[in-house]
Amino acid sequence: MRQYSRELSVGLALGVLLVGLGVYAPAFYQAQPLLSLAARAAPTLLVACGVALVIICRQIDISVGSQFSVCSVCAGLLAAMHWPLALALPASILLGTSLGALNGSLVAGLGLPSIVVTLATMVTWREGLRWLREGAWVDLPEGSQWLGLSQSAGQCSLVLLSLVLLAALAWAMKYLAAGRFVYATGSDAQAARLAGLRPQAVTWAVFALAGALTGLAAMMNVAQSPQVDPNSGNGLELKAIAAAVVGGVPVSGGRGTLWGVFLGVVLLACVGPALTHLHVEAYWEKALQGVVILLAVIADGERRQGG
């Protein structure tokens, strides 16, 4: 029980927020807006899972936002060329994986600090995209939105897909040896090496996986609108890191669960709509999210001293 205390406290905070909304703003619980909210949060959830894995491995990836933009534009262009989803989706995932693997190679292979590597790739991809596309939006062909389904069916499938992936990843982190290797590498890479593991391979794989998830998330984002915004990934890395931290993944790595990350994503995603429904000005959203993050870090600090 104690090892999940953080997940419990985040869940409790979320529960209080949801009950509060139920009492003071029952309008929040309307099926369609709620589903839209969930569908918008689904890509963020996948990216946050990827980033959380990187953080558990005691690395950081701040380039996922730029990866997301690159993959979105690429997927949009493929869709505009009338590629079927069955080809555009793997292409987007593959592109994300290669971008992530490049980060992984630089960090694990050359031993460079991940904050510097991913800062460099973040700027390179973002500015490269701006130079290539000059900020132009990509118009998608008719009928490509919502995976070719009706809006609510499309939204449902996106949400469901992200939840299934979350469950699979969370299961893998607990019940696959590979998950154990990620925790071990993040706790102490040198100790992992002495235990006969290959921390560099683990680090590389985690970056590549984060890229793959970002590529998939980009496709899920493209499916939600008639146009692709080339800046859609801006700030996504911060959202993802914030969700991971709120969900109890310490920046020092080695601990944390993806269920916590899920709660973090949901909590942060609910803050904005909650404010609207409680008739607070929307300007407060970012500030309140910041407060939530600070509270999470403070809770971490207390636990460290206690432990």
By CB under 8 A, name the binding residues for another protein: 3, 174-180, 183-184, 187-188, 190-198, 254-255, 307
CB nearer to another protein: give 33 or 254.
254
d(CA 152, CA 81): 26
Residue with tokens 């992200």: 162
> Of 37 and 169, which CB lies nearer to another protein in the complex structure?
169
For helices 151-175 and 177-187, angle between their N-to-C axes, nearest 10 degrees: 70
Burial class for 303, CB neighbours closer than 10 Å (0-12, 13-18, 19+) = middle
First to last CA, the chain: 15
Name, in order, each residue with C-beta under 8 angstroms of 234's C-beta and a sequence gap of 6 or more: 65, 69, 126
Q: Do the beta carbons of residue 223 and residue 158 sit within 8 Å?
A: yes
The distance of closest approach from Cβ of residue 210 to another protein in the complex, given in angstroms and rounded to an integer, is: 21
Distance CA 208, CA 39 (A): 24
Q: Using CA atoms, how far apart are residues 281 and 138, in angstroms rounded to an integer?
A: 32
Task: Name which of 40 and 198 has its Cβ closer to another protein.
Answer: 198
Least distance from another protein to the Cβ atom of residue 62, Å: 24
Cβ 303 to another protein shortest distance, Å: 13
Minimum separation from the CB atom of position 248 to another protein (A): 13
Query: In this complex, which beta carbon is closest to another protein, that of residue 143 or of residue 196?
Result: 196
CB of 77 to another protein, least distance (A): 38
Considering beta carbons, is residue 133 or 198 the nearer one to another protein?
A: 198
Angle at 283 between CA 277 and CA 289, to 5 degrees: 80
CB nearer to another protein: give 164 or 176: 176
CB of 249 to another protein, least distance (A): 12
